[in-house]
Amino acid sequence: MSYLKEIQGLIRKVPVELVDFDQPRETARVPTQVTTNFITNKEQGDWAERVILQAINGASEQFVAVKYGRSDDMVAGDEGWGDFYQSYQIELDSIGKRPDLLIFNKTEFNTELGFDISSIPHDEITDYVKKAVAGVEVRSSAFLLDHYEAAMQERTNIFTTKAIEIRNILLNDFPDIFEHSARSSYVAILEGINPENLNAVSFRCPSWGSCERLIKARDLFKELKDAIKEVQKRDFLSITPKVEDLKVVNKWIETFGVPHFYFQVFFDKVYGISFKHILEIISNPNNEGEVFSVESDVKNQNKTTIKINSKKGVLIASRVDEPSHKSVRKELARGRLLFYVTFEGGAAYIDWSNLKTILEI
- Identify each DSSP E strand in 195-336 by its residue range: 238-239, 260-265, 270-274, 292-297, 303-309, 314-321, 324-331
Q: Report the pLDDT averaged over residues 113-120.
A: 95
Same domain, 108 and 65: yes
Same domain, 298 and 352: yes
Q: What is the pLDDT of residues 233-270, one digit of tens each?
A: 888 899 999 998 999 999 999 999 999 999 999 999 99
Greater confidence, 176 or 27? 176
Which is nearest to 141 in space by CA: 265, 271, 277, 10?
265
Same domain, 116 and 263: yes
What local confidence, expressed as pLDDT, does residue 36 receive?
Answer: 81
What is the number of domains present in the chain?
Answer: 2
Same domain, 137 and 170: no
What's the CA angle centered on 221, arms 215 and 224, to 5 degrees?
145
300 pLDDT more than 70: no
What local confidence, expressed as pLDDT, does residue 333 receive?
Answer: 74
Confidence of residue 28 (pLDDT cuts 50, 70, 90): confident
Q: What is the pLDDT of residues 33-72, one digit of tens each?
A: 678 888 888 899 999 999 999 999 998 889 999 999 987 6
Same domain, 130 and 154: no
Q: What is the mean pLDDT of the chain?
A: 91
Same domain, 327 and 178: no
148 pLDDT more than 90: yes
Task: Please tell me the pTM assigned to this model.
Answer: 0.86
Question: Which residues, including other chains, have CB under 8 Å from residue 236's CB and lie 6 or more apart?
Answer: 149, 152, 309, 310, 311
301 pLDDT more than 60: no
What local confidence, expressed as pLDDT, does residue 77 receive?
Answer: 65
What local confidence, expressed as pLDDT, does residue 338 receive?
Answer: 84
Same domain, 82 and 136: yes
179 pLDDT more than 80: yes
Range of the domain at 13: 3-143+237-359
124 pLDDT more than 90: yes
Same domain, 154 and 228: yes
Same domain, 302 and 197: no
Beta-carbon neighbour count of residue 35 at 10 Å?
14
Same domain, 126 and 269: yes
9 pLDDT more than 70: yes
306 pLDDT more than 60: yes
What local confidence, expressed as pLDDT, does residue 299 receive?
Answer: 55
Q: At what angle do helices 81-95 and 243-256 cross, to 10 degrees?
A: 60
CA distances from 59 to 272, 314, 316 (A): 18, 19, 14
Same domain, 136 and 257: yes
Q: What is the pLDDT of residues 263-281, one digit of tens each?
A: 999 999 999 999 999 999 9
298 pLDDT more than 60: no
Which is nearest to 128 in space by CA: 157, 156, 152, 105?
105
Q: What is the pLDDT of residues 184-203, one digit of tens each?
A: 999 999 999 999 999 889 99
Single out the residue in 207, 232, 257 at which a domain terminates.
Answer: 232
